[in-house]
Chain A
């Protein structure tokens, strides 16, 4: 089927989507060039005679740093999983026709959405107990588990908002025509609105996951042994030479970039694929 966009000579402002494939390759190339430039420049600044080269230092500490990075990923996956499990029902409740239910759900969402992530993290890490006793059973609560809760709460609120946003962004005509066809509200939500929503929700959900992954380094501020904490320790172990800081932090930047960039590209691809143009 020939779409209007294809039939028409590309307007200047539609250029971006028409040349999407080409610009993707270009982006990849640019990103690689930028990263390499950052890395090499900082490494070159750090390289001076007598001292071990920055590359040998990075290679030496890579196992430790990458272990820290894996820990970041674990925190991000657990937080996002928990946040989604609670966030989806919370989002659906917000569109409930029962006013009080919608209001309570709305309040919870707004509260945790407006609370800054770093403050939430501080609160969870400093005010949650270090263990819980249930029927004489002791469940230990290490810092990183509290950090997961600290990230899961804002994740939950943001997922809820994504669900709500997707549901109300379905054109009102869809609700009205479903109603006039005799669908009940539940049927309408389950059979008409939600199927359209999943496509709309997936890209922002993945964006949120990306943001959560980026936020996991904040856990270093409260002393969780993740990548950024380990980076500081490596820096200290190598004699705290200030010229090592740029390459060490660049190393973290590169790790996160390699992980998040494909996710971001996949999100963009899904956004294009699911785009509802009328």
Chain B
């Protein structure tokens, strides 16, 4: 790899385009770490937020009123407040109230929940609140005629739910769910604000040291677009794989 590094160093001397995160060993190491942390944050929060969404949408259908009300309250609270303030509130506000624990490896007192964990927690709850609504409206958007038809064919309520409503509801929810998950991946960089060393934070450190703001900005944009594009490709594949002819817009119309 050394020739590549040398080439980029020389590239900087020739053109003034300073890509320290490629040729400088220290910057390269922290950039790789930051990139992985962003991927980790994305995957963990996607999984957790979908779980929150499924669980919440399911709880909203129970007969227990207080439970339904609690889910509704959770959804409105997290949907209607800024995620950045939520992160601050969790990390600074609540983090301060939690006790510190002894870290056996270093022998020092550390916070019970680290900033990375707070970021995961608050981002999952934020995106999860949206997912609950998405799954619910997906279920509600199933045409009544479908239910009517199934009913007249002698399906029981349970059968209608599992065989007619749910499969269609998943397809109804997919575009909105995809949007929300894409937004979530792009929102993981809010963790920057509480010093989680992810892609954005590392880039800021590098451009502070090497004063290559422009290069880092363009790199960040490309990096996130690649990450998001990967997710979009996966979601599009999923949408196509689940497509039913005649339901929704047909291709080429």
Contacts and interface: CB of A to CB of B under 8 A. Distances in A.
Contact of A123 (B60, B143, B221): B221
A273 interface: no
Nearest to B217: A123
A61 B144 CA distance: 53
A37 to B, nearest CB: 10
Interface stretch (A48-56, A84-92, A133-141, A239-247): A239-247
Contacts of A175: 253
A247 B94 CA distance: 10
Nearest to A204: B176
A249 B217 contact: no
A126 B213 contact: yes
A176 B97 CA distance: 62
A148 interface: no
Nearest to B222: A115
A123 B219 CA distance: 11
A35 B74 CA distance: 10
A214 interface: yes
Interface in A205-263: 210-211, 213-218, 220-221, 228, 242-243, 245-247, 249-250, 252-253, 256-257, 260-261
A118 B73 contact: no
Contacts of B143: 277-278
A252 B224 contact: no
A113 B185 CA distance: 12
Contacts of B238: none
Given A126-B213, A127-B213, A277-B144, A176 B253 contact: yes
A122 B89 CA distance: 23
Interface in B47-67: 60-61, 65
A246 B95 CA distance: 9
A34 B73 contact: yes
A81 interface: no
A249 B90 CA distance: 9
Q: Is the interface of B mostly helix, strand, loop or mixed?
A: helix
A65 B230 CA distance: 41
A26 B72 contact: yes
A277 B144 CA distance: 7
A257 B85 CA distance: 11
Interface residues of A, number: 71
A114 B144 contact: no
A119 B69 contact: no
Contacts of B77: 31, 34-35, 257
Nearest to B229: A114
Given A5-B144, A221-B193, A115 B224 contact: yes
Given A127-B214, A217-B82, A242-B96, A253 B89 contact: yes
Contacts of A4: 144-145, 147-148
A278 B72 CA distance: 28
B145 A115 contact: no
B202 interface: no
Q: Considering the complex of A and B, which 8 residue pairs feature the smallest CB-CB distances, nearest first?
A: A246-B93, A30-B73, A116-B186, A260-B80, A172-B253, A27-B72, A249-B89, A214-B82
Interface of A: 3-5, 8, 11-17, 23, 26-27, 29-31, 33-35, 42, 45, 111, 113-119, 122-123, 126-127, 165, 168-172, 175-176, 210-211, 213-218, 220-221, 228, 242-243, 245-247, 249-250, 252-253, 256-257, 260-261, 264, 271, 275, 277-278
Interface of B: 60-61, 65, 68-70, 72-74, 76-77, 79-86, 88-89, 92-94, 96-97, 136-137, 139-141, 143-145, 147-148, 151, 157, 160-161, 165, 175, 182-183, 186-187, 189-190, 192-193, 200, 213-214, 217, 220-221, 224-225, 228-229, 232, 248-250, 253
